[in-house]
Structure 1
């Protein structure tokens, strides 16, 4: 199974590729990579929240990674 850091890196690369017409991730500035890693981390957190919500609907509803909304 892939670790969280690897998942974040894969998602960040995918987001970067879409946003930058498939330009090379390896040549991107480090600060830009960090920005895409933050986007990726937020996306993964949101998916996790939604999955947990679908497993246990009484706990939360699907909002954003920083918004836990009571059901």
Structure 2
């Protein structure tokens, strides 16, 4: 992602909790290279799903400031 908006950054930050919960579930002490393929795919799914869920909540029109037309 190039130049994420503040809203997109906020969505990324909100995806950290589900990521942390999953990492704790599989073992935070595990090295990334020791994860199984399925664990890595699940990790990606958890992060993308959490991010997309936050994005779907959308920004309010007030977040854009004055509309120039």
TM-score under structure 1 length normalisation: 0.47
**Of the two, which has the highest radius of gyration?**
2
TM-score under structure 2 length normalisation: 0.48
